[in-house]
Structure 1
Amino acid sequence: MWIRNLAVFVGDEAFGWSVAELEEALDNHRCQPCGSQTQRTDGFVPPLKGQDPMAYEVDGFIYCMHQETARLLPGPVIKEVLDEKVELIQQEEGRKVGRKEKAELKEQITFELMPRAFTRSRRTGVLIDTRRRRILVDSASAPRAEEVVASLRKALGTLPVTYPAPKAAPYTSFSNWLRKPSLLPEGYTLGDRCELKGTKDEGAAVRFTAVDLGQEEILAHLDTGMVAVRVNLAWQDAMELDVNDKLEIKRIRPLDQLKENIDALEADDAVAELQAQMTLQGTVLRDALDSLYEYFEIGAQ
């Protein structure tokens, strides 16, 4: 387990279920195979293939796995078969195929091809921090993360969590950090990339990569009215990450200190290894989010 991107959902109250109750709920909402005419199914699967548990717990963290299975029936394939049928009808019957008939043919073709379509599964890890009332979804896509949380909510019956709501606009703070790094949340230092956008011209944007974020060119852009909407940060020499103006965490990468701890893991089996990884990365993420959320006055720690 290594979380690379992070969408965080925060609850106002302690989660009112035990690990056993969560496991039972996930087991009752397993991802089922696609039927011959089913385009998509979703639900939960064991995090470790070949193992039965639907969730694993250690040090206040619970890890589970969401899965979406979909049949791959590309639109161009349907269109190609449809065009062939339309052309055949026009040649054999000497008439034009109307819009309504085309729609009916398309529906028939889809029905015939669906059982022969390949299926593809997409798995998304979910790390639940019960001590901080946070749901951490390993996804770079906000819509995908919302789908996973909606599925978890459906399984549990209720799950009152929302995106973190900062007291002030993050882009204002990001811009201030670039001007004065001492304003950064405790434990953070500037990295080497950022993205700026104009506040007047919506199309104006500039990205800097592998540079000193305090350089004059960046500060000059800020002075013209641009704001920072994404910034790269390092957390206590343990990991680096990008945070955007929605407080989504992207491109999480371990730094030397954490790499050494990861390389030192010598678990006896897959379960022990997963739990060690949960503790290792989960604790670092918990502390990093604590500092970031305290800065933006998000929830009680």
Structure 2
Amino acid sequence: MWFKNLQLYRLALPVNLTAESLHQALAKLAFSPSTSMDLQNQGWASPRDNDLLVHTVNGQMLIMLGTEKKLLPASVINQVCKAKATELEEQQGFKPGRKQMKDLKEQVTDELLPRAFSIRRNTWAWIDPLNGWLVVDAASPARADELLKPLLKVVNDVTLYSLRVAQLPASAMTSWLAADEAPAGFSIDQDTELRSAGEDKAAVRYVSHTIDPDDVRRHIAAGKQCTRLAMTWADRISFVLTESLAIKRVTALDVIKENSDSKMQNDEERFDSDFALMTGELNHMLGDLVAALGGEAPQQP
């Protein structure tokens, strides 16, 4: 199993957290199936569908937040409310007032909820207590916050920081493109975005297209900065770095897949092997990326 998107956070060392203590903390907000009257339900679920809320391989921890939400569009509620309001008007001889409409909307919602479809999504997080990483597999900080808020609500003995680096990613990526040279251990791929900081927000995007250094330099001279850059680390992992220090479209390349053990006999062994491989590779890659961005800056909670 490989994370596709990385929202990066730091844990203050030493991390006084064990799998057992984390499991006990998460159990306070364990996921339970929603009732017919719940619009949304959220809680910690077992990553491997067993009784454990923390899955551990080589000291690396994996946790999962489950979210179940009823599909009940506002348009459906409004449509039913409108029909019922018409019936009510015919019965009482005048249009329902504001309070009546509010009560009617609540009544309709209660009636429709038991028949609404439910969707389930899981958000994963990797905790590395040895090196102080907490990484959420989420495409946006807002989605990551959905996991971090309930986590910090039950875990009191850790200090969490947003990752800070000495050089802003946009400045670093722009300088790499201007010099036509990637930092040590990395190569620049064919996807990038340059965006103006001015009011016009003009942007140029290269998608699966060879990046011409002279063309890029002209855009940089015109005031644009690189906000997204596709890169490959050590010919092993490709990804897109963003100006907010998020890492997207993480893909393990063939050299990793070829070196992985394809003779695993069952799903449990294969899952653990993939998780160990992912955490080991990403640990090295993140270390090299932080170094390429000038190292870590002083942290703020």
Contact kept? 2:16, 2:157, Cα under 8 Å: no
* Deviations 1:53-107 (CA, angstroms, capped at 9, x unpaired): 2222223311121111122211111011011112222334332223332122111
Match of 2:179 in 1: 180
Asked if the contact 1:31/1:67 (under 8 Å) is kept, the reply is yes
- Does 2:300 correspond to 1:279? no
- 1:202 Cα deviation from its structure 2 partner: 4.5
Q: What secondary structure does 2:225 align onto?
A: strand
1:1-301 to 2 correspondences below 5 Å: 1-49=1-49, 51-182=50-181, 184-262=182-260, 264-296=261-293, 297-298=295-296
Aligned-partner residue type, residue 235 of structure 1: W
CA distance in 2, matches of 1:89, 1:256: 66
Q: Give the match's secondary structure for 2:29.
A: coil
1:154 CA displacement? 2.0
Note the C-alpha offset of 1:2: 1.5
Q: Which amino acid aligns with 1:271?
A: E
CA displacement at 1:293 relative to structure 2 = 1.3
Identical columns (%): 27
Which whole-Å CA distance do the structure 1 matches of 2:126 and 2:152 have between them?
Answer: 15
Q: Report the more deviating stretch, 129-138 or 89-98.
A: 89-98
In the alignment, is the contact (CA less than 8 A) between 2:193 and 2:227 conserved in 1?
yes
CA distance in 1, matches of 2:18, 2:264: 26
Q: Which runs of 4+ in 1 moved over 4 A?
A: none
1:15 maps to a residue whose letter is V
Using the alignment, how far apart are the partners of 1:256 and 1:21 within structure 2?
37
Distance 1:26 1:273 in 2: 26
The structural deviation recorded for 1:6 is: 0.9
Between stretches 231-240 and 30-39, larger displacement belongs to 30-39
Q: Secondary structure at the match of 1:43?
A: strand
Deviation string, structure 1 residues 186-235 (Cα, Å, up to 9, x no partner): 21110111111101135312211112224432221111000001100001
Return the alpha-carbon distance in structure 2 between the equivalents of residues 270 and 44 of structure 1: 22
| Alignment deviations for residues 107-134 of structure 1 (CA, whole Å, 9 cap, x no partner) | 1111222222222211112111222211
Secondary structure at the aligned position of 1:57 is classed as strand
The residue type paired with residue 99 of structure 1 is: R
The aligned length equals 297
Q: C-alpha offsets along residues 120-179 of structure 1, whole Å, 9 cap, x if unaligned?
A: 211112111222211111111211111111222223234421221122321111100111
For the residue of structure 2 that corresponds to 1:28, the secondary structure is helix
1:210 partner amino acid: S
Q: List per-residue Cα deviations over 1:226-283 (Å, max 9, x = no partner).
A: 0001100001111100010111010011222123234x43323332222111111111
> Is the Cα contact below 8 Å between 1:29 and 1:43 reproduced in 2?
yes
Q: Which runs of 5 or more structure 2 residues have no equivalent in the other structure?
A: none
Deviates more, 1:112-121 or 1:191-200: 112-121
Task: Give SS of 2:31's match.
Answer: coil
- Could you say what secondary structure the match of 1:110 adopts? helix
- Could you tell me whether the CA contact under 8 Å between 1:58 and 1:279 is conserved in 2? yes
The TM-score with structure 1 as length reference comes to 0.92
Structure 2 CA distance for partners of 1:106 and 1:159, relative to 1, 3 Å = farther
By how many angstroms is 1:26 displaced? 2.4
The answer on whether the counterparts of 1:191 and 1:234 sit within 8 Å (CA) in structure 2 is yes
Structure 1 portions without partners, runs of 5+: none
